[in-house]
Amino acid sequence: MRQKIIAGNWKMNGSQSFIDDFSSQLQPEIEKLSERVKVVLAPPAVYLQQLGDAFSGSGLGLGAQNVAQDDKGAFTGEISAAMLSDIGVEYCLVGHSERRTLYSETDQMVVAKVAQLIEKKIIPVLCVGETLAERDADQAELVVRAQLEAVLSAFSDVELASMVIAYEPVWAIGTGKTATPEIAQAMHAFIRSVVADKSASLAERCAILYGGSVSVATAAELFGQLDIDGGLVGGASLKADDFKKICESMD
């Protein structure tokens, strides 16, 4: 049975006082929520230690938003997988559309980052998705397939056994737009079929999350789709009560 996951991506938001307030609201709920879903939070890197300490022993999965392509060296400003592992990080986003678009992150760079995470036994959350222009040009599946196959072709089934995939239609991130449940399900089914081309067993156990402006209002119907195993939540993950309700929407 595939694991159900709700991951919150805080992006470049938060503060020490925010984490104190957020954790005081959510920490008492985590044990109950964990009975139905794996809850993951990915704050900015400078707050990873504080968030991890605040939720210590609760079952919360600590997630990072990015990782370096290299393991150490003269790479000013970078954070290695070894450093993330050292402070208890369990999950790490790779290939987020903002990294691809704003920082020119290529598929080859994503592969290098996944390799670092696998080496340090951190679960990669591989983000894939198309822009509105690509969808309008009927290129959505072509784009997503290329992003997936870059990683699938670089590693063995064993190496990818714990990998999570997040489908994030770029046109639905931060815009308030959400793919209809039918559109989301169709792409999730396509993603699973691409993984199945490599390994049927890998496809069956791979958790695929939806990541396009998930909200309290849209969560339940999205999570009710056959191939949607959870959500990668942006803005709503900054509101403890909304995030809790989204987690509770997972059956």
Ranges assigned E (strand) in 144-213: 164-167, 208-210
How many whole angstroms separate alpha carbon 105 and alpha carbon 14? 24
How many whole angstroms separate alpha carbon 116 and alpha carbon 122? 9
pLDDT tens for each residue of 224-249:
999 999 999 999 999 999 999 999 99
Task: Indicate whether 23 pLDDT > 80.
Answer: yes
How many whole angstroms separate alpha carbon 67 and alpha carbon 79? 6
Q: What percent of the chain has pLDDT over 70?
A: 99
Q: How confident is residue 95, by pLDDT bands cut at 50, 70 and 90?
A: very high
Q: What is the dihedral of CA 82, 109, 187, 124, to 10 degrees?
A: -10
How many whole angstroms separate alpha carbon 107 and alpha carbon 114? 10
Q: List the single range of 9-18, 43-52, 149-158, 170-179 with lowest mean pLDDT.
A: 170-179
- The pLDDT of residue 186 is 97
Q: Which of 105, 134, 168, 188 is catalytic?
A: 168
- The pLDDT of residue 179 is 84
Per the CB < 8 A criterion, the answer to whether 135 and 148 are in contact is no
How many whole angstroms separate alpha carbon 166 and alpha carbon 232? 7
Task: Indicate whether 223 pLDDT > 90.
Answer: yes
Task: Indicate whether 123 pLDDT > 80.
Answer: yes
Of 140, 160, 144, residue with least CA distance to 152? 160
**Strand 38-42 to strand 123-128: parallel, antiparallel, or no bridges (unpaired)?**
unpaired
Q: Mean per-residue pLDDT for 44-49?
A: 98
- The pLDDT of residue 251 is 75
Task: Indicate whether 36 pLDDT > 90.
Answer: no
pLDDT tens for each residue of 199-208:
999 999 999 9
CA angle 92, 93, 99 (to 5 degrees): 140
How many whole angstroms separate alpha carbon 216 and alpha carbon 145? 29
- Domains of the chain in start order, with CATH, are 5-248 (3.20.20.70)
Query: DSSP 3-state assignment of 78?
Result: coil
**Any catalytic annotation for residue 188?**
no
- The pLDDT of residue 76 is 98
Task: Indicate whether 73 pLDDT > 90.
Answer: yes
How many whole angstroms separate alpha carbon 91 and alpha carbon 51? 14
Q: Which of 96, 98, 130, 188 is catalytic?
A: 96
pLDDT tens for each residue of 149-205:
999 999 999 999 999 999 999 988 777 776 899 999 999 999 999 999 999 999 999
Enumerate residues 6+ apart whose C-beta is below 8 A from 194.
144, 145, 148, 149, 152
How many whole angstroms separate alpha carbon 126 and alpha carbon 130? 14
Enumerate residues 6+ apart whose C-beta is below 8 A from 101.
170
pLDDT tens for each residue of 103-119:
999 999 999 999 999 99
**Any catalytic annotation for residue 96?**
yes
In the numeric block, which tokens belong to residue 15? 């503060």
- The pLDDT of residue 246 is 97
Report which residue type is found at 95: G
DSSP 8-state class, residue 171: G
